[in-house]
A and B are shown apart, each in its own frame.
Chain A
Amino acid sequence: MLSKRSIVLILIIAFASFLCQKQALGMDPEVLAKKALCHTCLAKIYASQGKIPAAILEYQELLKLTPNDAAVHFEFATLLAHNNKPDLAAPQYTQAAKLKPAVAEYQAGLGYALMCQKNPDAAVAAYTKACSLGGKYQTQLQNAQQYQAQQKLLDRYKKKLEQQNNE
């Protein structure tokens, strides 16, 4: 005859197993694909109709379903960048480049994001990588390099000014 303690132990183990299985299984892939398809289509429709807030919401829902889809991050970032939201676009570009570092377009997007964040050194590196992957981003690379050079000049000037002030 099982004691009450044993029965409770059995139930706890069983429930724990159930939770683990549910987490591992996640959403049914078919359901996931269907929802992702609907959100993708809706996002593109709203974007084409100029309904940007609605499009952003759809992309956010889509990213909840497919957080590791680099293409979705990139598309979302492009939408944000084209609608004067570079600060929001930058992390999306970064994520796309991180997920698929071998895609030239994503590296170029990252370069754009880094330029928006006033980080020309890293932007030059990203654009250089984009060009090495076969993308035609020489213009963007040159701009970034010029900005980098100007930034260095500015920093030197600031340093000199500081020194003069200290003297």
Chain B
Amino acid sequence: MSQDNHVKFITLFLCLLINTVCFSLPAKSVGDNTGSTGSITITKHANAAARAFAAHDYKKAKEEYRIAIGLSPETLEFYYGLYDVCVHTEEWDQVVFALEKIFEIDASKKRPLLAQYGEALFRLGHYDDAVPVLKQALKEADLPAPKIALVVQPPVPIPEEEKPVDPNAPGGAASSTPDLTVAPVNGNLPSTGPIPSHPTLLAKDTTKFKLSFQNAAHSECILIAEYLDYQHNPDIQFFHPPIANYHITKILKGPPLNSELPVRYEFYDRINNALPEGWKFGPDKMPKKGSSWIIFIMNAVPRDGAFDTYQGSYGRQPANDENLNQIYALLENSANR
């Protein structure tokens, strides 16, 4: 009798063991290794985007993702975030853009995302393009969707061209010592190669053409401000500019100035300062009220009640995506040193 019980117990135990080992659900594939967060500015924008997305503020999330993309255009996660947001807002052209960039950065992501790509093409009305994509997606449907978390890789510095190695020099071609002049990132040793260079605030542009963001970024104050109006005066001339009133919306660099910013609105930069023929002042010479500008102020001390901008008119740049991306990148690279 006890032997029968023994057999029954073993039988039951083996059944349970086989069920557990063989037929339990397979572990989900782990997500891609996405590295850790990068710089302060990029992290700030990435976090702001994620928070906005969680709060269903898709417009803000999209803006933040676009800024993050401008700062780090090779980061896959940002395009994925943009894709996610635009699916919610049904901006299918942006969905297609984001997916195509993802495929460009990492071709292995194409197959698992084909269905979504096909849907976006269908929504855009690109039926001829959508059909083959959807058919292929049906074949690849068993592939799990890529797990892309929203964390950031630091921006990859642009390497200089490699100099030819002199095999006769000591430690030349035969040397395999890694280049340790590049600071390690998150404990990982850098790959071998020459010291990369990237635009920083410490490197001034020494070309003759001094009107550049690189130089302008040395200003004491860099602000984003909204143009309100100018102080009307019958004496306004080309070389006697008006005082324009701005409202500071964001201080990118410099001391906390008063939000109401009077600026000497010069009509020329210090290089091209010839009076144009037939020039006459009028409201058309002033910007549109409410427009947004990046203001570079060399010295954060007003002169005769108004601030002077960097190189006159050059120190006022439209606050569009391209300019903002440039200035953010310059400020970020300076902060990372």
- Which residues of A does B touch, CB under 8 Å? 2-3, 6, 9-10, 13-14, 17-18, 21, 25, 28, 30-31, 34-35, 37-39, 41-42, 44-45, 48-49
Number of A-B contacts (CB under 8 A): 64
- Which residues of B does A touch, CB under 8 Å? 7, 10-11, 14-15, 18-19, 22-23, 25, 115-116, 118-119, 122, 127, 130-131, 134-135, 137-138, 141-142, 144-145
**Do A42 and B141 form a contact, CB below 8 Å, given A14-B18, A14-B22, A18-B22?**
no
A42's partner among B11, B22, B131 (CB-CB below 8 A) is B131
From A34, A37, A49, name the one whose CB has the most chain B CB atoms within 10 angstroms. A34
Bound CA span A48–B19, Å: 49
Q: Are A42 and B134 in contact (CB under 8 A)?
A: yes
Q: Are A6 and B23 in contact (CB under 8 A)?
A: no
**Do A38 and B15 form a contact, CB below 8 Å, given A17-B23, A49-B127?**
no
**Do A2 and B134 form a contact, CB below 8 Å, given A14-B15, A14-B22?**
no
Closest-by-CB residue of B relative to A9 is B11
B115 neighbours in A (Cβ, 8 Å): 34, 37-38
B131 neighbours in A (Cβ, 8 Å): 42, 45
Q: Are B130 and A45 in contact (CB under 8 A)?
A: yes
A10 neighbours in B (Cβ, 8 Å): 11, 14-15, 18
B119 neighbours in A (Cβ, 8 Å): 37, 41
Bound CA span A17–B137, Å: 33
B113 → A minimal CB distance (Å): 10
Bound CA span A38–B134, Å: 5
Q: Are A14 and B138 in contact (CB under 8 A)?
A: no
Bound CA span A42–B141, Å: 15
Q: Are B141 and A34 in contact (CB under 8 A)?
A: yes
Bound CA span A37–B120, Å: 11
B127 neighbours in A (Cβ, 8 Å): 45, 48-49
B140 → A minimal CB distance (Å): 9
A44 neighbours in B (Cβ, 8 Å): 122
Q: Are B135 and A42 in contact (CB under 8 A)?
A: yes
